[in-house]
Amino acid sequence: MPNKSVVCPTDFYLFIYMAKSRRAKEQSLKEVGAMLQGARGIVFVDYAGLTVKEMQELRRTLSAKGVAFEVAKKTVLGRAFKSAGLSQVDVAGLNGMVSLATSGTDEVEAARELTAFAKTHEKMKLLGGVLEGAFVDAARIKELAKLPGKQELLGILVGTLQAPLAGFVNVLQGNLRGLVQVLRAAADKTKA
């Protein structure tokens, strides 16, 4: 009797490449559709060549930044984009094993995190993304990753708005200081 704990390599490969059931495809379509509903930033990557450990590291990194990551077949991605009203995005034209990362709060967060991860993991390749409803190439995603994030931009805005107010307060305080010094000098003259 053969040992059932040993897995034949051909059985293993058949298991990996087996077609998904219709229910699994529908579930994947729902998950990707839900990701696209609130997505502000969408990035496609080719994850071929990454180890399981590297994929787990990528998922943890993205999750900590609020970026959703999904691996799905191109046909499922294409259907999800059509149902989300983004039919002009051609997922079938992308090469490799495509995965999708979306950010619901910041347009650049997904691009920034995936670009940083791709710098340390050469096997992962940026394929492009969706910006304002249109497909953009990998070069544009790398440019987008260089932009400051939403929180950084809000900090810059607050600093810019605060600078004139701080200057105005200093001008008013300077006038008051000058008036106090003049009054103090006048008081010293009257005492002498």
84 and 36 Cβ atoms separated by less than 8 Å: yes
- Judge: domain 9-147, CATH 3.30.70.1730: yes
Per the rule left: phi > 0, alpha: psi between -120 and 50, beta: everything else, 111 is: alpha
Q: In what order do the strands lie in the sheet with 41-46?
A: 67-71, 98-103, 41-46, 125-131, 134-137
DSSP string for 42-57: EEEEE-TT--HHHHHH
Neighbours of 15 (CB within 10 A): 9
**In this model, does residue 169 exceed pLDDT 50?**
yes
**Residue whose structure tokens are 């999904």:** 70
**Distance, CA of 126 to chain centre:** 13
Give the pLDDT band (50/70/90) at residue 14: very low
Pick the closest to residue 73 from 48, 55, 100, 33 (CA basis).
100
Taking the domains of the chain in order of start, what are their residue ranges? 9-147, 149-192
The pTM score is 0.66
Q: What is the mean pLDDT of residues 116-143?
A: 87
C-alpha distances out from residue 67 to 63, 113, 172, Å: 5, 9, 47
**In this model, does residue 68 exceed pLDDT 70?**
yes
Task: Report which listed range, 59-63, 90-94, 142-146, 178-182, is most confident.
Answer: 59-63
